[in-house]
Every structure is written in structure tokens, then in C-alpha cells.
Amino acid sequence: MGKSKVLVVGATGYIGKRIVKASLDQGHITYVLQRPEIGLDIDKLHLLLSFKKQGARLVEGSFSDQKSLVEAVKKVDVVICTVSGVHFKGHNILMQLKLVDAIKEAGNVKRFLPSEFGMDPARMGHALAPGRETFDQKMIVRKAIEESKIPFTYVSAGCFAGYFVGNLSQLETLTPPKDKICLYGDGNVKVVYMDEDDIATFTIKTIDDPRTLNKTLYLRPPENILSQRKLVEIWEKLSGKELEKISISEEEFLASMEDKDYAAKGGMGHFYHISYEGSLTNFEIGEDGEEASNLYPEVKYTRMDEYLKIFL
């Protein structure tokens, strides 16, 4: 059997553009949904045209035109959706229900990967509001997928390095602090940090793999399971400068959320579960899941000391 043909929905986004590149790099015929809703967004158009130059095929379709979605889906074997699910960018998780309907109607898709790529929502029923909305909506989409008997893989990718590593997991900045660093609690809770290009590589690896059919793929490569304190130590060693460390207790962190706006509260809630509860690492992967670096040891994933060097 040849490699699956892939449709990427949400291709101009943060993870989507990396999924397109990884799909092309791994030899898949890759379609990108071109939505008329981009309007006059010239940056998105240029990104779409750059995909075309790289060999991707653009196919028009809109969430407001079900027939167009069905026609797009019929061209491929695998659909990967990466629409935004974070409050500060756009919260479009439930739009995927229309895509689920289109996949069900088309009847040809052998794998659907919905927009997940973070904490496993099945484990986050206790999450703080308003951030819990993200997990609740992802579970609504999962329910629709499974009730429609659509073959799936869910990807739990850990913390995006762009948002959690360069800033040593500080809020409201994306670059390393100069003098002081806030540690969450004692800073020893284990977190999974992932380079976004590696997330895309592992994701594409899974689409033709029967071992991940109807399972969750957890990205937990052992050398990238680090505490925040260890991440800070790596930076201090690279930069040759020791930072003053300030411990933020759980109570202080929760109190600091109270006067924030809706989007900030949502993001900080996720941050709390990762940094204080260890929600990415505080469980064993069961029979309904697989770990990516175990399945694909050939992937040379980026270690966080390598990642941080660009900030020197």
C-alpha cells in the first residue's frame, strides 16, 4: 500500500503549517483546505501559496458549505485538523463537528486526527473554569467521532517549546528572563516540553500506523520530561548566569488569576494544571494509548538544551 493522502484543515495556524511541512517531507500527497473566510488576510494567502510551491495541493472548502467540505474530504485518506483551541487566539474547537459530519458523509476516511495536541482532555474533567471549556469541547468532538465510528488518533503533545521553553515557563513573555525567575511551587513538577516541528513529525508518523488506530498518541520522549527547575538549570549553564529564584505557591498563583480577563484566566488555568498538578506526567499510559518515541525511535527529537541555544 502507498502512503495515505492527507488533508490539513487549519493549515495556516501555529501547528497546522508544521503539519503540512511534515506531511510533504514524509512523502504524502498533501491537500490544504483553502477557506474563503481568509478574506483580505494577505499573510495567510502567502502561506497557502508557499505550501503550493512546496508541492501541496490547495482545495477550496468552507465550514459554512457542507458540500464543499465533503468534496474536499473525498480526495484523501486522512484528515488532520489543527483549528485553534486557545482563548487568546480563537476558540474554534466545536467547528470540527461540521468536519465530523462531512467525514461521516464522505465515508472514505481511514483516519481522523482532530485538533488536540495538548493535555489529554479525557483526564481533565476536573479542570478549572474557564480553561475547562477547551477540554469539554474536545470531549464533545471525541464523542461525535466515536459515535460516528470514524477511525481516529488523538495526539497529546505536551507543552509547545515556543510558549514554555524560551521563556523558562514565565507568563507574559516568550524570551528568557534577565535576572529573576518565578518557580511554580518548588519547581520540581515534571513537564513534557516539545519542539513544535517534532510534534508535527510524530503526528504524521502515526497516520499509517495500525498501532495507533483508535488510540491516543502521547508525546513523552524521556529526555524532554523535565522539571521547570531543571529547565532553568539548563539555561543557567548555557548562559553562564545564575537567576534569582522566586517561588510562587499554589495559593498565590490561583489568587493572581482572579483579576485577569477571560482569555488570561483560561490560559493560566491550563498553566496551573501543568505546573502544579503535573497533568502531563502524573499518570501511566494505558492500553488505550501509545508513546511516540517508543513507536518511532528513528525520530531525532530536539532536546531542550539544543532548543535554548538560539536565545544566547
Catalytic member of 17, 21, 104, 138 = 138
3 state SS for 250-281: HHHHHHHCCCCCHHHHHHHHHHHHHHHHCCCC
> Which strands make up the sheet holding 57-60, listed edge to edge?
57-60, 30-34, 6-9, 78-81, 111-113
Query: Phi, psi at residue 107, to the nearest 5°?
Result: 75, 10
CA distance 100 to 96: 6
**162 contacts: CB under 8 Å, gap ≥ 6:** 14, 174, 196
Catalytic residue at 138? yes
CA distance 193 to 180: 21
- Assign residue 35 a region (left: φ > 0; alpha: ψ between -120 and 50; beta: otherwise): beta
Q: Which residues are catalytic?
A: 138
